[in-house]
Structure formats: structure tokens, C-alpha cells
Amino acid sequence: MLGRRTRITLMVTALLAVPLASFGIEQSLADRLSGRILLQVESYGRAWYVHPVDGTRYYLKDGATAYEIMRTLGLGIANADLEKIPTTTGQAKDARLVSRVAGRILLQVEERGEAWYVRPENGLRYYLKDGQAAYDMMRDFSLGITNDDLRTIPMNTTQIVHDTTFDDVAYIQVRAGEVIASQHADQILPPASMTKLMTALVFLDRKIPWDTPVTITSFQIEYPRYYAGTDATSEVDLAAGDVVTVYDLWIALLVASSNQAAIALTDASGMTRDAFIAAMNEKAKELGLTRTAFYDVSGLNAHNVTTPREMAVIAREAFSSFDIFRASQQDSYSFQTRNVTPRTISVTDRNYTLQDFNVDAAKTGFLDEAQRCVSLKRKNDIVVVMHARSMSERNEILHRLLDSI
């Protein structure tokens, strides 16, 4: 079965990039694409809406998000005026009105706020009944665009989302609450498996005994495939039916960065998965974070986002916990399942690439969208590096920041 990324990539490869040469050169790209729905041809087909009022772009995560955003940005209109905007070619229209509202979302003030989209290319209005209608419109009306061109259209300032056109490394070094060094410290980026530090904090709040037995399910084993398809992910040799302890899963989570362990601990917490994720976001608020959002517990969901500055707060909180600090220092671990016929499972340290830096505690992460990430503690310093384009770039930055300690 194709993974979600693969399916989207196949769809996007059929698109052509925006033929910018066909537009006039006297306007900015945001002006030229005002009100259009754009689809990134280089970043998993992410869809964006260019708001005609301020020329900023909004990320349309899915049909439901698109529907909600477009209603939020909608402009009220009376039925009499709405009737002047055609729904099919050849109908009578008020050309000046159509020109004025092209690309806008119109909300009928005399009905129940029913929404319509005025397509700039043809001046016709399309009914947005619900999220599915919004998704269909995204699919049918989207225009392919490259990252270089999309980057010139500014992001809106209200959405907490990753700008996938970002092409640099971001980092921060904090010592006793003071920023020592930083670059793009407030850039919103996916934390990948560094998410597991927040997962660990929320799980600790549940105070589940370490020796609690957990039976691994087939769904937990298959969980990474929902995000990664057939791509390899960080796991240990768990199998459906294995009986293990909460502590075994805890070490697998923080040492091997096991995504299966992340969802198994979530299920063992006594909370539903949605409630657990809500608790992660609530804890982010308690820590004073305003540019952080979680959608899954493993970090495989690229819509999980934070910034280097806010990730440093999470890392400081996590590494202050004895249980997280102790687990992150493990360089080898194995355990036996509690099945009738026990198996020995080894846990491989995923932080081995940091051995040369003499860190006290660390959590690494990688996704295509996130690139190379790390949060670490060394002496009194917390260092976070996000979106390093290679291991060598990440390590070069770590050497520069840590060699002075």
C-alpha cells in the first residue's frame, strides 16, 4: 500500500509549475496570484490560498482546514449582489463586482452564512458546502508552483504551520535562561522525533507504574506506516502479541526513538489518543509556548511544529526530569518479553551520532520535512538545531556552539 507521502507525490508530479512568464512583470507574484489556490510541486503537494486582501498565503492542510480558513477570511454579501456573480459561463454578470471580489470567499449574510468561492480565472462562483467541497476545489482549481516562487509570497502571521519553502538551518543555544547564540530561532519547523520529549513529559504526568505489563497490538506495530508508508522508521523488534513492561517501552521511546513504543505508551496511559495529544498541547501552553502544536505522539506527522526557541523550553523541562535524563543516558539496553516463550529485544541507541560531543542528555530527530534535528543538554547549556540539511551541517554547528563550553 502506498504511503500518504507517496500518493501525494505521484499526484503532484502530474502538475506543471506556474507559468510565471505569462503574467505581467509590473506586479508582485502575490498580486498576480491573488485569490488563487497553489500546490507546491516540490513539497508533497501542500496547498496554499493567497488572500486577496493582504497578499499573504494560508496553508490548506486538508478539506476541513480549507473550509474553516476560507469561512474565517470570508466577506459578507447580500443575496441581491451574489446573484450578479454567475455560476456558469454565459450568465449575466456585474463585471465590476466580479472583478472586485475575484478570489474572495463570499458568505451569504441573508442565508446561513453559506460560502462561495469566486474563481479569479473565470469569474464564476462555486458553492463550498463543506470540507469535502473545499477539498474538491483544492484538487480541481490548484495551480502548481515551485518553492522558489512560493517563497516570494509572504506567510500569514496567524497560522502556526511550517513554511515548507524554508531552506536554511535554525538553531539556538541557551545558558541559564540567556540566549548565547541563535539563527532563525523563531522559525516554525517540524521537530520530528524530538516530539517524543513532550510525549514523555505527558506520560510521566499519568504516573503509570514502570512494571505495568503492556500487550502490543497489530495496530501499534502498523502505526508508523500510516505516516511513512513503506519507508523505514526507528523501531525495536516488537511484534503483535508481545507482552512488555511500561519501562521497556519507555527506554525504546527515548533511546531507540521507537514510534511503535510512542503509540503503545499512549494507549497504556489510560487516555484516548486524542486526549493525550490534547494534553501535549495543553502542556505546551503551560510552558508559555505560542508557536508549538502537536498532532501525533511520535513526530512522524510533519504537521507537528515548534521553533528552536520553544523546543529549547521543552528540552529544558524534559531533561530536568530524572526519568527522562536517566533514560537518555542509556547507550545499551535489552529486555525479555513476558510471553510464554520469551524473546530478547535489543534497544539500539539512536543518539550514537552525538558521542563525540560529550552531551549529558539528547534527543535527535529526522523527517524529510524536518531534516536533521537535535535537542541536547551539556552542562548548563541547552542547544537545539533544526532543519540541518545534512549530518555534517548539524555537527559543524554543534562543534561551533559546544566547543566554547
Each residue's pLDDT tens digit, 348-393: 887 778 988 999 999 999 999 999 999 999 999 999 999 999 999 9
**Cα separation of the two ends of the chain:** 49
**How many angstroms from the chain centroid is the CA of residue 53?**
27
The closest of 189, 201, 159 to 306, measured between CA atoms, is: 189
For 181, list phi and psi in degrees, rounded to 5: -155, 150
Q: At what angle do helices 195-205 and 273-286 cross, to 10 degrees?
A: 100
Per-residue pLDDT at 15 exceeds 50 = no
Task: Write out the residue limits of the CATH 3.40.710.10 domain(s) in the chain.
Answer: 170-402
Percentage of the chain beyond pLDDT 70 is 93
Q: Provide the β-strand partners of residue 172.
A: 182, 384
- 198, 238 contact by CB (below 8 A): no
- Per-residue pLDDT for 154 more than 60? yes
**Mean pLDDT of the residues in the chain:** 92
For residue 301, the 8-state DSSP code is: S
Residue corresponding to grid cell 472586485 = 100
Residue recorded with cell 511513512: 228
Q: Is pLDDT of 45 > 70?
A: yes
DSSP per-residue letters across 309-370: HHHHHHHHHHHTSHHHHHHHT-S-EEEE--SSS--EEEE--TTGGGGGGT-SEEEEEEETTT
Q: Helices (DSSP H) in 57-216: which residue ranges?
A: 63-72, 79-82, 95-101, 131-141, 147-151, 195-205
The pLDDT assigned to 92 comes to: 94
Answer for the pair 63, 135: CB distance below 8 angstroms, yes or no: yes
Mean pLDDT for the stretch of residues 267-292: 99
Structure confidence at residue 7 (pLDDT) = 42
Q: Once rounded to an integer, what is the mean pLDDT over residues 67-89?
A: 94
Mean pLDDT of 7-28: 48
Alpha carbon separation from 351 to 193, 234, 354 (Å, rounded): 12, 12, 6
> Rounded to whole angstroms, how far apart are CA atoms 75 and 313?
39
Question: Which sign, positive or negative, has the C-alpha torsion 187, 191, 174, 158?
Answer: positive
The pLDDT score that the predictor gives to residue 334 is 95
Q: What is the pLDDT of residue 16?
A: 45
Q: How many CB atoms lie within 10 A of CB 129?
A: 12
Q: Which residues are catalytic?
A: 193, 196, 257
Residue at grid coordinates 512583470: 25
CATH for 170-402, among 3.40.30.10, 3.40.50.2000, 3.40.47.10, 3.40.710.10?
3.40.710.10
The most confident of the ranges 2-6, 19-23, 384-388 is 384-388
Is 61 known as a binding-site position?
no
For residue 8, what pLDDT is reported? Answer: 44
pLDDT of res. 331: 82
For residue 342, give every residue at least 6 positions away whose Cβ sits within 8 Å of its Cβ, in sequence order, or none: 336
Nearest to 161 by CA among 51, 60, 32: 60
- Report how far residue 227's alpha carbon sits from residue 276's, in angstroms, rounded to the nearest whole number: 18
> What is the C-alpha separation between 26 and 40, in angstroms, rounded?
24
Q: What is the pLDDT of residue 166?
A: 96
Please state the rounded mean pLDDT for residues 74-78: 96
* Amino acid occupying residue 389: R
